Structure 1
Amino acid sequence: MQIGNCTFSSYPLFLAPMEDVTDRTFRLLCKEFGADLVYTEFISADALIRSVQRTEQKLILSDVERPVAIQLYGRDIDSMVEAAKIAAEAKPDIIDLNFGCPVKRVAGKGAGAGLLRDIPTMLAITSAVVKAVSLPVTVKTRLGWDDRSKIIVSLAQQLQDCGIAALAIHGRTRAQMYTGDADWTLIGEVKNHPSVHIPVIGNGDVTTPERAKECFQTYGVDAVMVGRASIGRPWVFREMKHYLLHNEPLPELSSDFQFNILKRQINESINWLDERKAILHIRRHLAASPLFKGIPFFREMRIRMLRAETLDELFRIFDEIQQTYLGDV
C-alpha cells in the first residue's frame, strides 16, 4: 500500500491522531512497538497562523518517527491553506485534514465533523490544500453527521476527486460521538466501491489483535487505525502485529515490562515538557492502562496514583502497587 512516497508492508497499523495523547514521546514509543504511521495531535489552523507557542511545538518532528503525518483542523479555506503551508515547512511525510472531530468546541464551530454539514466547504478546503502543498494530503472523517445522513460512500468519491492520497474513516457518525459500536460495514462498502481507488483506512473499536485481523479480512481495508486502545498501552501495536503475521497471540507481557514502559514514557515526557506538565499529561495514560484493570480493592490506590504531583511520589506508588497487588517483580 502506498501513500505518496510512503510504502507500507502487509497489514499496516496506524496510530490515530488524538489530542493530548499523540505527542512526540508517545508517537516514538508507538513507532518502536510497530506502528507503521503515526499522526500528531490535531492542530488548529487558526492557532498555527497566530504562532501560538504550544501549537507550534506540535510541529516538532523526529526522523525516528517517520513516516509521520501532521493533522490540521479548521473551518475556512484561507486559514487551512496557510496552515498547511506552515505545516509543510516542518517536513512531515503527509498532511492530514481532520473532518471528523466530534467535540462541541470543534464541530460546534464548523470545523472537524462540523464540516459534514457543509460538504461544499469541506471539498473546497480539501482541493485548495491539495493544490497548495507538494506533500500528499489525506483526510480523516466519519460516516456522516447522524443516522439520517450517512453520506460516506458518495463523500469518499468526492474527496478522491479533490486529489487526496488516502481516506481514513471512523465508523461512527458525529451524533454518536464515541458511543455505540463502530459500523465497519460502510467502511467496507467504501473500500470495495468500484469508483474508489485511493487507500481506505478503517478506524473505530479496534482494541484487540483478533479484531484488527478481522477488520483486514472482512472489510478489505488497506490499513487499520488504532486510537483509544493504545492509550496507556503503546505495546498494543506489537501484540497486533504478531497476531496479524503469525495468527497466534503474543505471550503476555509481564507487569514489570509494562511498568518499565510507563516509567520510560513519564521520564521522556518530563524531558520534553517539564515534571508538572508531564505528570498531568500521563494521568490519562495511567487511567487507561490495562496494567491496573481488574485489581481488587484498588480504588484508593488508583486515586492516589492519579493525584500524584511529582515523579518521586508517582514512582513510589508504582513500587507499592507492584509489591502489594502484583507481586514483588
Structure 2
Amino acid sequence: MRVLIMGGGWFLGRAVAEEALRRGWKVTTFSRGRSGRDVAGAKPVRGDRTRGSDLRRLAGAGPWDAVVDTSAAEMPPRVVLAAARALEPVAGRYVYVSTVNAYRGWPNEPLTEASELHDAPADADIGEDYGRQKAGSERAVWETFGRDRSVILRPGVILGPGEYVGRLPWWLTRAARGGEILAPGDPAQVIQPVDVRDVAAFALDRAAATDAGAYNVVTPLGRETMGGFLAACLEVTGHRGTLRWVPDDVLLRHGVRQWTELPLWRTTAGAWAVDSALAQAAGLRCRPLAATVEDTWRWLAGGEDPVEHPRRAEHGIAPEREAAILAALG
C-alpha cells in the first residue's frame, strides 16, 4: 500500500505514519515542517495545504492508494475541499478524520452514525464553529471522492503518548503531585476516550478496505469509567494522592468549568454516549484505558515534550483554586 498522510509529524498523524511503516507500507507525509518531526522511513513533502501551488506540487509526488487526512483539525471546509480536489486524480481513497462535534446533537444527546450532522457547505469559510467546520469538511470529501471512495472517522477524545491537548498529561501530573485530589462527579460515570494508536490502526484498516462509510471511533459504551481512569493515574504515578469525589452540582455551584478545568468531566447526557458498534464490527479494537494511561506516563517520564499548542493552556484547575474548593467542602 502507498499512503499519503496529511500531517504525519505529531500525535495522530505521527501514529498513523508509524503504524503504516510497521505494516510495510510506503509512506509519504505532507506538512509545513514547523512542528513535530519527520518519522524515519517516511518520505516528507514540505508545503502548506492552504496554497494551491503546494497542493499541485504534492499531487505530482503521487499516486497513492489512499490519503489519510489528520491535519485539518481547525481549518475551514474550503481548505479540505481544495486538498481533496487536488488529490482526487492521484489517490484511490480519502480517509478524513472528523469528530463527534460534527453531530448537531453532541454533547447533549446519545449519538449513532445515523444522527443528524450540522449543516455546512463544502466550500464554506467557517471561523469559530468547530462542529460546522468538521461537518462541512466531511461534505467536501464526500462530494469530491464520492461515497464509495470516502471514509469518515469521528473520534471523541483521543489520548495517548504524544498528546498535545494536555488532558491526560494534566491528570497524570496532578496525580504525581499527590495530596487530596478534586475528583469530579460520580466515579461510575462512563467515559469513552480512545487511544491514538488504536485510531491510527483503524484509519489504516479502513484505508486498505474496499468498502467506505462513516464510523464513530470511541471506546465501547460501558467499558471505562472516570473512577477507573483516575485510579489508573494514581497507580502509575505511585499512589501519592487520594481522591475526593465531589458531586456535579457542587462543582457547578463553585463555577468549575466543564471539560477544561477538570479534563474529561462533563455533565451533559451525550458527552459519553456515542455508539461505536459499526466501527467495532469493522475491526476497531480499543486497548484498556489503563494501558493508555501507563504508556502516556512512560512517555512523559521519558522527557519528550509534546508539540506546543494553545489548547494545552486551557486544561487543568489551578492548585490554589482546587485547594480553596476542597477547603470549602470541609
Q: TM-score, normalised by structure 2?
A: 0.35
More helix by share: 1
Q: Which has the higher contact order (CA 8 A, sep 6+)?
A: 2
Q: TM-score, normalised by structure 1?
A: 0.35
More strand by share: 2
